[in-house]
Amino acid sequence: MAAECDIELLVRAARAAGHVALTFRGAAQSWTKDDGTPVSEADLAANEALRTILMGARPGYGWLSEEDGRASGGPLSFIVDPIDGTRAYMRGDTYWTVVAAVLDGGRPVAGVIYRPFVDTLYCARLGGGATRNGRPVHVSGRQELRDARVALPGPLYRDGGFETAGVVRAHNVSSLALRLAKAGEGRLDAVITKSGPHHWDLAAADLFVHEAGGTLTNLSGETLDYAAETTSHGAVFAGTPDLAEPLRRMAARHDAAA
């Protein structure tokens, strides 16, 4: 099965890219892209490491990266973010990750999220469960809103009824993929993102959360299509299933009123 073979390849590539990024720590030059987001020498070097290893092993796969766009291929493709959390990386924070996944059509079948600074590896394979450093993980299973730990934007928390409902706002780490993985491993009960995450931010974490027994959807409850030509998405919910409907409803109501 492709996903079973590819997970080992993804791990090898993510570790190599993480090592490359670590060698630049404190010395990488950076600049601002046309879309206003930062990029550094380390992003490009890590991207090249990923591409060399992944496409070298699977030349028939397609390719989509935050740093060098899209290349067509067969029904299977790689989707990567060489440094998810570039701002954190540039200021010396440790909450950045290397993210890579394999898509079959529009859905992920294998994915890794690697946090190089502390050597933490999140892996998921379709039908194979989700692991953190080799140990199976699961969503929290929480059923009540009160005291639920949710990472979400400050304005949404204050103005969307979450504070009144007793939801506890959790710290938003810089890497979105890592934030979503924390929902998958049960350290958070849920995550609600701002509008605007991209395919490469979400695909690996989407699979990880689902394989951990959770759900990741847009605020209408629909699964995401990573084959779509437009790579950006609206706000996304991820977390334990029993909290999905009430939290999505609250977030959607706030968005509609904004």
The residue among 147, 196, 201, 198 whose CA lies nearest residue 173 is 201
Q: Decide which of 87 and 60 is more confident.
A: 60
User: What mean pLDDT value characterizes the chain?
Assistant: 92
CA 9 vs CA 5, 21, 107, 112, 206: distances in Å: 7, 18, 18, 10, 19
Asked whether residue 101 carries a pLDDT value surpassing 60, the answer given is yes
pLDDT class for 30, splitting at 50, 70, 90?
low
Which one-letter amino acid corresponds to residue 94?
A: T
Dist CA 110 CA 207 (whole Å): 7
- What residues form the annotated binding site for Mg(2+)? 66, 81, 83-84, 201
Q: Give the model's pLDDT for residue 36.
A: 65
Q: Return the ∠ at Cα 114 (arms to 32 and 184), rounded to 5°.
A: 105
Q: Report the sign of the C-alpha dihedral through residues 131, 136, 141, 146, in that order.
A: negative
- Could you identify the residue written with the tokens 């550094």? 40
Q: Which two tokens stand for residue 167?
A: 């939801």
- Could you identify the residue written with the tokens 């969307």? 160
DSSP strand pairing (135-136 vs 149-151) = unpaired
pLDDT class for 255, splitting at 50, 70, 90?
confident
- Could you identify the residue written with the tokens 């590819």? 6
Dist CA 61 CA 43 (whole Å): 22
Instruction: Concatenate the DSSP letters of all residues of 83-109 into one string.
Output: EE-HHHHHTT-S--EEEEEEEETTEEE
Q: What mean pLDDT is predicted for residues 167-180?
A: 96
Q: Give the model's pLDDT for residue 2.
A: 58
Tell me the pLDDT tens digit for each residue of 58-84: 999 999 998 777 767 778 999 999 999
Q: Give the model's pLDDT for residue 73.
A: 72
Asked whether residue 157 carries a pLDDT value surpassing 80, the answer given is yes
The residue among 50, 207, 31, 188 whose CA lies nearest residue 116 is 50
Q: What mean pLDDT is predicted for residues 105-129?
A: 97
Asked whether residue 173 carries a pLDDT value surpassing 90, the answer given is yes
Q: What percent of the chain has pLDDT over 90?
A: 80
Tell me the pLDDT tens digit for each residue of 207-222: 999 999 999 999 999 9
CB atoms within 10 A of CB 56: 10
Tell me the pLDDT tens digit for each residue of 212-254: 999 999 999 999 999 998 999 999 999 999 999 999 999 999 9
Q: What mean pLDDT is predicted for residues 179-203?
A: 97
pLDDT class for 105, splitting at 50, 70, 90?
confident
- What residues form the annotated binding site? 66, 81, 83-84, 201
Q: Decide which of 67 and 156 is more confident.
A: 156
Domain annotation for the chain: domains and CATH numbers: 2-136 (3.30.540.10), 149-257 (3.40.190.80)
Radius of gyration of the chain measured on its C-alpha atoms: 17
pLDDT class for 138, splitting at 50, 70, 90?
very high
Q: What mean pLDDT is predicted for residues 99-118?
A: 97
Q: Which two tokens stand for residue 197?
A: 């995450």
Q: Using DSSP, state whether 250 is helix, strand or coil.
A: helix
Dist CA 38 CA 173 (whole Å): 17
